[in-house]
Amino acid sequence: MLAALLYGQEDLRLEQVADPTPAVGEVVIQVGAATTCGTDLKVWRRGGHAKMLKPPTLFGHEAAGQIVAVGAGVTGWQVGDRVVANNSAPCMECFFCQRQEYSLCPNLTWNNGTFAEYLKIPAPIVQHNLLRIPDELPFELAAMTEPLACVLHGVARSHIKPQDKVVILGDGAIGLMFVAALADAAEVLLWGGNDQRLDIGEKLGAAKSFNYHQIADIPSVVKELTQGWGADVVIEATGVPSVWETAIACARPGATVNLFGGCPRDTTITVNTEQLHYSELTLKGVFHNTPEYVRSALALIASRKIPFELLISEQRPLKDLEQVFHDMKARKVIKVAMNCSKDFSL
């Protein structure tokens, strides 16, 4: 089969590799659509990921498709089922899993390789995080279950109250998903650097959007919009250390700051201890998702209450994957749905 492999920093290659076969407890799906995301872009640019993968490796982690092979011992699934698989599953047995803190499980089973014709799903994911897709739901929408599950986990950890003013820093797919998930519950103020993306943010429910290229002092503007105090909740969705610091500066006394975007390894930020202490700030790092939010995410997508299709800029064949990542780097596209099901020539 044709598959994308990551060898290092901005070194992505399409190669012919052996078709996967399922072992005990596993299934293999034919990939109907694989969507790109900001995490893929960061991993491609940095050449690896602290948790999920180490090159050289099959690449990509958001996909939906159809089961084409079922391993021994698998029950409840059969060839032809339309499914989406999360890219991980917790062990359900460790210290953290016993406390239902599944995203902290040190034994998470990770799965990569969605940018390929076929994808093997490990047994723990089949058991805990493989979900059936409604017949009418397009694969490219179902493929966004994983990032939305992360966002819903982040929303829950932010403890947002009705009528809160929420600042979201970042107009990538994750920031825009946060807008969509929160628009009915809070007044969302979106900050980003791309007017087209900010327009999509307003279509998804942002009360106001701002281009940071035109505003030098973001925290001052946030305070002007919040009676001088700052935002009730701030969500950082860029993974840039300096933006983490901006997020903290935008917060009112008593606020929660959700530091959601994953920064490069070994980076640090500076926190004003006086502000942190006397303003009683809550700073939270929030990572990944849990089985509960994977199910909630698919249900929300399937409800079609939110036009998540606005986040898909294009649909492209797998052979165009390298160019797609260059387009993402240049911020020309948000998410791209890759058609992996046909044998495109190299």
Mark residue 304 as left, alpha or beta (left: phi above 0; alpha: psi -120 to 50; beta: remaining).
Answer: left
Task: Please give the Cα distance from 158 to 343 (Å, whole number).
Answer: 44
- Mean pLDDT across the chain, nearest whole number? 95
User: What pLDDT is recorded for position 49?
Assistant: 74
| Adjacent-strand bridge partners of 63 | 34
Lowest mean pLDDT among 58-62, 326-330, 339-343: 339-343
Gyration radius from the chain CA atoms = 20
Q: Average pLDDT in the 67-73 region?
A: 98
pLDDT-based confidence at residue 345 (cuts at 50, 70, 90): very low
Q: Average pLDDT in the 127-140 region?
A: 98
Half-sphere exposure of 157 (CA within 13 A, CB side): 25
User: What pLDDT is recorded for position 346?
Assistant: 31
Q: What is the pTM of this model?
A: 0.95
pLDDT at 342 exceeding the cut of 70: no
User: What pLDDT is recorded for position 52?
Assistant: 76
Residue type, 84: V
Distances (CA, A) of 169 to 16, 164, 181, 219, 246: 40, 16, 15, 11, 9
* Residues 158, 237 contacting (CB under 8 angstroms): no
pLDDT-based confidence at residue 55 (cuts at 50, 70, 90): confident
Task: Please give the Cα distance from 316 to 334 (Å, whole number).
Answer: 13
Q: Average pLDDT in the 254-264 region?
A: 95
Task: Please give the Cα distance from 175 to 182 (Å, whole number).
Answer: 11
User: What pLDDT is recorded for position 54?
Assistant: 80
pLDDT-based confidence at residue 108 (cuts at 50, 70, 90): very high
Half-sphere exposure of 338 (CA within 13 A, CB side): 31
Task: Please give the Cα distance from 3 to 26 (Å, whole number).
Answer: 19
Residues 275-319 have pLDDT tens digits of 999 999 999 999 999 999 999 999 999 999 999 999 999 999 999
Residue type, 212: Y
* Residues 288, 156 contacting (CB under 8 angstroms): no
Which is nearest to 262 in space by CA: 245, 282, 294, 240?
A: 240
Domains defined for the chain, CATH in brackets: 2-143+307-339 (3.90.180.10), 151-285 (3.40.50.720)
Give the distance from CA 292 to its chain's centroid: 16
